[in-house]
Structure 1
Amino acid sequence: MKRLPHLHLWPVLALPIAFVFSSYYPAETPENTSVKAAGTSTLTHLAKLPGAVVESSGLELADKPNTYWTHNDAGNAPVLYKINEQGKLLQEVTIAGATNTDWEDLTEDNQGNLYIGDMGNNSNKRKDLCIYKVSVRNGFKAQQIKFSYDDLPAGKIAKENRNFDCEAFFWQNGKLYLISKDRGAERTAKLYVLPDDAGTHTARLVSKKELHGLVTSADLSPDGRRLAVLTYGKLYLYPITKGSTQFFSQTPRVMDLPAIGQAEAVLFKDNQNLVITNEEGNLFRYLL
């Protein structure tokens, strides 16, 4: 961190310094400490995640107030962890018949089914992309939604064209919507759609949107009026006409996040509060 200026320069530099302090979030922050983010939103550090959650990469609401499902990133056990806002581990569920090749995000439908996105594709070479559909009612027995992309070219993909790694998705009206992480140019997010039924499907390209940065997670608000898209360092909030599937058609509100590390998961707790985790093991609430 840069040193503070000498005291006799304080009147001149007070305004810029205030901005720096409001935009910085230290790695080790006391729980329930709030800071103002860019604009009028407030970020609160809720807790450290339990030790079993070493690389939180997805978030979804659990069955009790202020509880959440999360999971680890690539190469870890195929386990869902239920946690609360104090960082306590409440439950571990091993998903039978599943592997964690590269779990990247979680979403839920209106019937209580959870969808686990085993679709991380860093090198854009995977041929076994899969989403696991599970629910408490069936004992978390995994159904598989296997898929490929309809615009995937044949042969090797040039490094600058690597945009077939979707690490963010959400559910709406019987469909799963996937958003790509543009590893080639870091400037174009592609939106795909596929059915939420078990089987083998093709993810259909719906639209493309200029979006600078690497997309790590997404979620639709409970009222369907806003789409949150998380990248490293920024949060994009897209307004949506109720019932519309034109998720990228309106100009988003873009917010610079304080330095909260490598943020990997975002969830609408309700229409005004987001919950975010990072790979450094922290849980945050973001008041819009």
Structure 2
Amino acid sequence: MTRLASLLMIACLSAAIGADEPATAPQTPSPSAGQRLPAWRVEDAAVRSGNQAIKLMERQLTESSGVAFSRRKPNRIWSHNDSGGRARLFCFDHRGQATGSVTLAGVRAVDWEAMDCFQVNGRPYLMAADVGDNDRRRGGVTLYVFSEPDPDRHQHVNAILQINLTYQGGATNCEAVAVDVSGKQILLLSKSPLLSSLHRIELPATEQIERHIQQPGLHQLAMESKWLAAVPLPLVTGMDICPKTGDIWACNYLHAIRFAKLPEKSVAVQIQQSPEMISLPQLKQVEAIAIDQQGRAWVTSEGSPTPLRRVVRQKPRPQRIDTTP
């Protein structure tokens, strides 16, 4: 499928599910919202308003496919390349200047498509998701979990939990992965021309993660995903969960999509409601989305330097009141 055909398909399907209608479901704070998280504070007013992008200044980052805000230091954001590169993550400050990097020792990046940074019991972790499978031929995919290192240093990590994942129902192409700390699960949203599918695995307990990464090496853990729901979203390229509200965000090449948190409802119910769809700014090819600690959405696109741009939500349209007698 050509890129033009993909964009036309997304536009048609977006119109069908109400791209201009913001979700009206009530929101409740996520149970993880009380955690103290490092703040992401952007000084440039044009960047804050979404009119300009931050340029991530790292020549070796040319195809940003995953992005996540640091849970260890304020004003730090991680990103990584797509397939074919080294197993490495780059870190930047709020001005786009490179601050550090981490290389995963003994790991080969087959098709890295997503990442997340999460905090459990005050301990920050990074997860890199080697889950791309365009031809649906991989017998299994891999998630790498390790302690978030100092974002301001260049270093190697050699104590890693390697989750070897197989899907219920067979091979699946995926570019969108997010850690749901409050639900104690890892969510995976497939990439498909028409209908995406939401899968989950349990998030290993902190004690289990720590036990695996206390000693150097790749510590194997086999898991099978559980299918949760079908989602009428085409070509999903990224996903994140808002640390402030618990809203689930996703993106494709044309839109950022917000599924509001529903009180006392599962994520399967949450992601099947009518979402709020926000048109993306003109970028080459959006591959990742991350939500900052204030609940603002940011996307990255392919390119060098890599653009990081805020997605601004549309203001609700005022309703007209018919006063005709």
Equivalent position of 1:256 in the other structure: 279
Alignment of 1:75-114 (within 5 A): 75-111=84-120, 112-114=124-126
What's the CA shift for 1:43? 4.6
Residues 272 and 258 of structure 1, relative CA distance in 2, 3 Å threshold: same
TM-score, normalised relative to structure 2: 0.68
Matched, 1:44 2:56: no
Confirm or deny: 8 A CA contact 2:140 2:167 kept in the other structure: no
CA displacement at 1:35 relative to structure 2? 9.0
Asked if 1:127 is matched to 2:121, the reply is no
Do the aligned partners of 2:177 and 2:186 also contact (CA within 8 Å) in 1? Answer: yes
In structure 2, distance between residues paired with 1:180 and 1:44: 30
> What amino acid is aligned across from residue 58 of structure 1 in structure 2?
G
Q: Which runs of 5+ in 1 are unaligned?
A: 1-30, 154-163
Q: Which of the pair is proportionally richer in strand?
A: 1
1:177 maps to amino acid: L
CA-CA distance at 1:32 after TM superposition: 5.3
2:213 maps to 1:191: no
**Does the 8 Å CA contact 1:32/1:47 hold for their aligned counterparts?**
no
Judging changes above 3 Å, is the alpha-carbon distance between structure 1 residues 267 and 43 closer, same or farther for their aligned structure 2 residues? farther
Which structure is higher in RCO with an 8 Å CA cutoff and minimum separation 6? Answer: 2
Measure how far apart 1:89 and its partner are: 1.1
What is the aligned-residue RMSD (CA, Å)? 2.4
Amino acid at match of 2:164: K
Answer with 114-123 or 222-231: which moved more: 222-231
Moved over 4 A (4+): 31-36, 137-140
Q: Distance in 2 between matches of 1:42 and 1:136?
A: 28
Cα distance between partner residues in 1 of 2:200 and 2:110: 22
Deviation string, structure 1 residues 92-126 (Cα, Å, up to 9, x no partner): 21111221101111113322121110010011101
Is the contact between residue 47 and residue 310 of structure 2 (CA under 8 Å) also seen in structure 1?
A: no
2:316 is the alignment partner of 1:282 = no
Matching residue's letter, 2:307: N
CA distance in 2 between partners of 1:145 and 1:229 (Å): 23
> 2:119, 2:125 within 8 Å by CA — same for their partners in 1?
yes
Match of 2:185 among 168, 175, 181: 175
Matches within 5 A, 1:47-66: 47-62=55-70, 63-66=72-75
Q: Structure 2: where are the runs of 5+ without partners? A: 1-42, 150-155, 205-219, 314-325
